[in-house]
Structure 1
């Protein structure tokens, strides 16, 4: 494969593809697209992680990006060599000519140059060749990130301009009739775009259709007046006048001026924000499908989107509003009545006979409360009226044959913010988004899940409250978000009314399940819902069907890929109120606590294998915190329940968020009580979580657990607590005394827990060797520890042992060997999502390279620092700061070197090997 990309073509004008073909998984297409757009240029790690995940960054974004890059290289096959690592990120080493976007832009520019030179025929051939590069909507499968939307919009604008150029060239080359059909279609898709209107007027006029040309102008004039309060441009008005007087060259004489039918839809009175892609989707579906149903939660903007799509679809549009009907009413009767059709009791047949006469688009708004009769009517109309299409809005699908469902999602934060500002200016024209208001407005939009109605109600409060106050009061959002337009339907005047409308339509099993689901935090699995919510009249085996029905009714959000479900925050708060009203909150929280205690007890022992158990507990991190919160609440009652949970979650906390576990166990133990054996386990866990940052409290906890286990006669746990006490010896105290504790525990533990504790004993002896700088003696210990941990199915601790082996090899002067081991440890920790191990391996690899004279380690230090901050690991943050100090000193930047070294010392305190602390304190931030 040539490194300049010769022979490889990357395509973005449609689905993301590469030629020669490669099998690209959905997860790598956005990454490839972002790199292709910058072909030949370096794209930074920060830019790529922002492009892939936006503000929802994974815990270790740089690691996740590296994994994604590796997947992309493998997927590209031989072309993977073109994706190269270049500080501060990655570069696709191809010239712009290898990208269809560039070829398209170059071909369009060439065609326009030919037109300017008077070669209209050549320009037409060039434009048509350029448009042939398009295979569908640009970046069609690159996801829905904000940058993708911006780039799609830019490219679509370029395509539209090229399409307009082609149609204008058809006129210039004497082929107006060939342009009419395409111009009519383009005008229907973009009814407020003047250039297609001007060209269509010219094409119709030059085809002998003067009256039709004037009709087009009249239709645009009405649309602009109704929707924007504007008139057509002077240029277009002048063209209409010239057509009326037959003073435009190229048109035959033909008198006619047909009347224009007034639109059947209400004029739009507010701007439509953030729905361009949705509009395109709906219009595309309406071209091929007979029934399109817009689904989504209340207040998400289904009606607004449907009306706008109907306006742009054009033709004969009939709007029927079903919201005023009582639940369960006959939809056919309402349709016949609003169409003005006498029914004589056969409303569906009468409506069908009326609509069958001509092509029409029937908009059925708000079907959810009459969904059964609406579905029956739509099914009848589709079969009886071949030229009728139906656009419906409903909180659940109609479920008729041939129906295409378009889920209307909440607005992304940028669009939600634009909507807030637009509606805020309606009540306070001077309102501006600035450094003071922007964070609060974004917070409001996030808390309201991007639901347009809720955002509009919040924006109306700007008349009396600043955005920061609105954000602060959203804990009581149902009291705050009232006072919608007086002319709005009652169910849209307050946020509570929106949810009351949805709730009141639910049968009792779905109401029961919805309120009980409020106890979950951050989502749940189906087994969790069955275990926590299945009691009383709703048995565990009865949860599945109402859960799926709540998904159908847009009240529960599914994640099919992960098998999880969640509630929007607003729906969750509403459901929580209903749960309290039903008097079930206490029982649900107790069941939630018991479920996650059992989950922790079942999966905790498997966490060290870093497989499905580890991932499952990470996915439920929010629920684990909620369970701890409830265990600490007075209502929980029994202290044993909280201590059981804390002990169950200890392995998870130890490998992930030690600081979080430290706080939880401290609080649970501080609540008092608990069976002696359970309390001793919790104390042991508290000591274990503090071994790298021992405090008087963690030291006391470890020793108290040892005393309790000895009193209880539990030799195994006493041996484990002895190891925890010895772990503190890596920093201070009598090393030989700690070694004696380790030897005693090793003799008593044998192969308990699959040999994991014997591996830990070897690990601790290695730490004592590192403490005193006995690097040669430490090397075989760390090799043995790694082997033992792998045998105990604990790859995380094995990777940690490898990282310490790298430190020992480095200290023993075996730098080349150490570098390979540290890289291996970093790769393994990254694969296992082990934040502490990854940060430790990266900082020591960086310092090894600095010792070798290589100061290009800033990316390593930055990644290590970011991972350590996320995992709340001050020790590795300190080593990263020390590394930056060394780089600054080498570059002669003494102030930065001094500041970073001071930060490193403050973060470490006394929590480091003595030889390392001595080197740090001897560090002089002054160049020679």
Structure 2
């Protein structure tokens, strides 16, 4: 996307980045083309704009050279030849956006929405960075733009005045009339501000000043607007004062979905408490919920979104209640003992003032109740909070369907569109405002197109329809309202959290609990305190806003990737110790972040990506994450050929494990590639990896049924571990030796070694190794002479330990082995169901259990007849119920 900027020194943004235009002369060329607003500009006109009276001998040649360089930056289609000149096509300009903001701001002001108008005028004027078309001679300046800028400044002051800020705006209006004393609109606003501020004499004096200035300097009388204002002032027309805003008399016209639990809770809370605040993120439907609750109660409704200053809160409440005095004391005196409900809507930007008013009126008006809506609590004594969360999926889809039907008469979603609706509801986090706006866009976009649009940028979903309760015109304005209320430090933290996928823990913000608490309190970050440690996430619309407005997106991605690297370095060494289950759970929760961090590093830091993906070898293996880990490891090895040998070796060994689990018999390629890299023992970390790689090799050959080839690597692993002083490796080495011996004919010795390895692993709190010893012992007990009952006992213990360790792959392997053991005890049909269900669950993870858990000895593959397996295949099994199929039945083993 190309955005032209001419309200100051000329710039072109290409997909959000400022392009290098190559110096002042090419910039003049671009400016002249932008000034033409897409129309062709002849070469002589361009030459005059660039060089004036000092054109070179051959301006055409120089001009073509500039065009050629600019095309490389902006793209050939954007800067095209047109007749005898050139034209520049951009997607938008800051001048066009400025004009649109001013136009819409004036519409809002005319529609008595001064708060929103003020924010739009602020946005419009902030687009100016200097003079319009500053890079061209003065003759190219656009008087219309400068005039519109002056109008915007005046209308901004008018919006402040309409919002009730008469005392505050008076000084700025005095400065404005001094700067341009012949602009009568400024005098009109100044006179009105003085009058509304209770300064009637000063108001009349200002009127006499402008009348004298115009007569003395220009010899003219004031225009019709000032003359009319003069007459109304002298008549003390009450219409000159701000009108009170009435309570909404009816409910909104659209259907209300869900919120049954919230309405019940609100009824209960206001039955026992006198101050209840609905809190939640922008667009979650707090105002609509409050209106639905209060519709039959005839409340005093105070719309605070348009109140720009805390000092104006009492005036807004007084106007809604119908009290003349704009003070809290006057409001409390007028209400007295009257029962009623005061509904204070959108309090977040004036929280302190609202809290102060609420405390006083509740203390003095014993029968009054207050219902507030805010993105943060009022934090006063006695306040009860009711969180308004996004809609659940079913209600969100129902709302979407209802609103789309409104713009597509007769439409009914088919199966494919129903799935897309669910995707839309999820992408918009069930935020009612976002769903409403998305449904409106469905009039001109297909649902799939709309969903695709939401994936890569902040949703441009258009304006809120007339009559809606939302205080903000667009979804972006709703999010911006929340973000702009944050302090600088908290805002900076929020804007750089968008790279986190699927949430984040406290450590992701460097344990800055105060700032994170502020973000949660203000409803821009959602906290899940039902898990330990607590987890936090951004709603997707907030995340999209942060991604778009982050001043340093590259830095934010790098910080996220660095956090992933630190997390893996911290937890990878723990995956074999007594804290391995906790580390597995931590890494499982962070899987989306791991994926995103590694993919970032693949492009920017491939050596780091290789190390991170390799360190996760046991996470991939124990989690059964074959389909996840394989492509990342392969990509990292390809991207980092010059990485340290130990890191490359680890990645190769990890890849060999996953390839084996996937049933790829070429896994030895990576296994021996890793072992070869470790032959020179590059460092102590490499020596540890060599000891581990040796028992991997042993287990590989045992699993392939080539037990004679498995004995030597197991003994090599034991020797290496002892030599380098890393005895913690010995239980796994001994385990691999036991499996090799049992399979190679030394059955009793192999079983003893497996039992010894399991006991040693237990003593070292190596639960995973103890579990694997149990699984391998169960397999050894299924070799002739078979002892299936003992094998089942060993499998069940292994299954419990693997489940505690969150090792999904080996849970499935244990169930696979257990199915054959169960068949040998005579329960063939139950064993068949277990075998089929385990294979299905493994297949969904890219695991081939017949390879990863080979049961080939003693003809076990024939113990479950094919017809029984076929019958079991027709029975659906819930994956979560798989372990129950292995449990004893009727007391039998």
TM over 0.5: yes
How many residues were matched structurally?
A: 616
Could you tell me which residue of structure 1 aligns to residue 801 of structure 2? 828
The residue number in structure 1 matching 2:567 is 599
Question: 1:803 Cα deviation (Å)?
Answer: 1.7
Residues 263 and 577 of structure 1, relative CA distance in 2, 3 Å threshold: closer
Q: Specify whether residues 718 and 476 from structure 1 end up closer, same or farther in structure 2 by C-alpha distance, changes over 3 A only.
A: closer
| Aligned-partner SS, 2:377 | coil
Deviation of 1:697 after TM superposition, in Å, equals 6.3
* Partner in structure 2 of residue 369 of structure 1: 349
**Shift of residue 275 of structure 1?**
0.9
* Match among 298, 315, 318 for residue 282 of structure 2: 298
Asked if 1:641 corresponds to 2:625, the answer is no
Shift in Å at residue 490 of structure 1?
Answer: 7.8
1:115 aligns to what?
Answer: none
1:350 aligns with 2:330: yes
Change beyond 3 A, Cα 1:279–1:732: closer
- The residue number in structure 1 matching 2:314 is 332
State the match for 2:759 in structure 1.
787
Contact in 2 for aligned 1:835/1:867 (Cα 8 Å): no
Secondary structure at 1:364's aligned position in 2? strand
Of 692, 708, 720, 1:736 maps to: 708
1:704 counterpart (670, 673, 697)? 673
| 1:881–1:793 Cα change, 3 Å | closer
Quote the Cα distance in structure 2 between the aligned partners of 1:432 and 1:284: 38
Equivalent-residue separation in structure 1 for 2:249 and 2:453 (angstroms)? 38
Task: Spell out the pairing of 1:234-313 with structure 2 (5 A cutoff).
Answer: 265-312=249-296
Equivalent residues in 2 for 1:25-424 (5 A)? Answer: 265-312=249-296, 314=297, 316-326=298-308, 328-343=310-325, 347-424=327-404
Match of residue 682, structure 1, among 651, 671, 675: 651
Contact 1:731–1:771 (CA under 8 A) maintained in structure 2: no
Structure-2 separation of matches of 1:355 and 1:752? 84
**1:757 positional shift:** 2.6
Question: Shift of residue 596 of structure 1?
Answer: 2.4
Give per-residue Cα distances to partners, 1:385-437, cap 9 Å, x unaligned. 11100001111111111110100011111111111111111112312243232
Q: How much does 1:704 deviate?
A: 2.6
Does the C-alpha gap of structure 1 residues 866 and 448 become closer, same or farther in structure 2, counting only changes over 3 Å? farther
Name structure 1 gaps, 5 residues minimum. Answer: 1-261, 532-542, 901-928
Tell me the CA shift for residue 529 of structure 1.
0.9
Tell me how far apart the structure 2 counterparts of residues 881 and 614 of structure 1 sit (CA, whole Å): 28
Q: Give how far 1:845 is off.
A: 1.7
- Could you tell me how far 1:858 is from its partner in structure 2? 6.0
Q: 1:800 and 1:391 mapped to 2: Cα distance?
A: 60
After superposition, residues 547-586 of structure 1 pair within 5 angstroms as: 547-561=516-530, 562=532, 563-579=534-550, 582-583=551-552, 585-586=553-554
| Alignment partner of 1:874 out of 848, 851, 861 | 848
- Deviation for aligned residue 1:362: 0.5
Q: Deviations over 1:313-356 (max 9, x none)?
A: x3x5211111112254521111112222111xx51111112222
5 Å matches for 1:468-867? Answer: 468-476=448-456, 478-488=458-468, 492-530=472-510, 543-561=512-530, 562=532, 563-579=534-550, 582-583=551-552, 585-608=553-576, 609=578, 610-633=580-603, 636-637=604-605, 639-659=606-626, 660-672=628-640, 673-693=642-662, 695=664, 698-712=667-681, 715-732=687-704, 735-750=707-722, 755-769=727-741, 775-811=747-783, 812-854=785-827, 855-857=829-831, 860-861=834-835, 864-865=838-839, 867=841
Q: Deviations over 1:858-895 (max 9, x none)?
A: 6644663465345432216998999999878455x86x
Contact 1:766 1:781 in 2 (8 A): yes
RMSD: 3.1
Q: Residues 867 and 793 (structure 1 numbering): CA distance in 2 closer, same or farther, change over 3 Å?
A: farther
State the match for 1:232 in structure 2. none
Q: CA deviation at 1:565?
A: 1.2
Stretches (4+) displaced over 6 A: 877-888, 897-900
How far residue 472 of structure 1 moved from its aligned partner, in angstroms, is 2.4
Taking a change above 3 Å as real, the CA distance of residues 879 and 327 of structure 1, as seen in their structure-2 partners, is: farther
Structure 2, gaps ≥5 residues long: 1-245, 876-893
CA distance in 1, matches of 2:813, 2:339: 69
What secondary structure is seen at the aligned counterpart in 2 of 1:402? coil
Give me the whole-angstrom Cα distance separating, in 1, the residues matched to 2:311 and 2:417. Answer: 46
Contact in 2 for aligned 1:751/1:757 (Cα 8 Å): no
Task: State the Cα distance separating 1:517 from its structure 2 match.
Answer: 1.3
CA separation of 1:309 and 1:439: change in aligned 2, threshold 3 A: same
Contact kept in structure 2, 1:518 and 1:576, CA below 8 Å = yes
Tell me which residue corresponds to 2:69.
Answer: none
- Sort the Cα spacing of 1:850 and 1:491 in 2 relative to 1 into closer, same or farther, 3 A: same
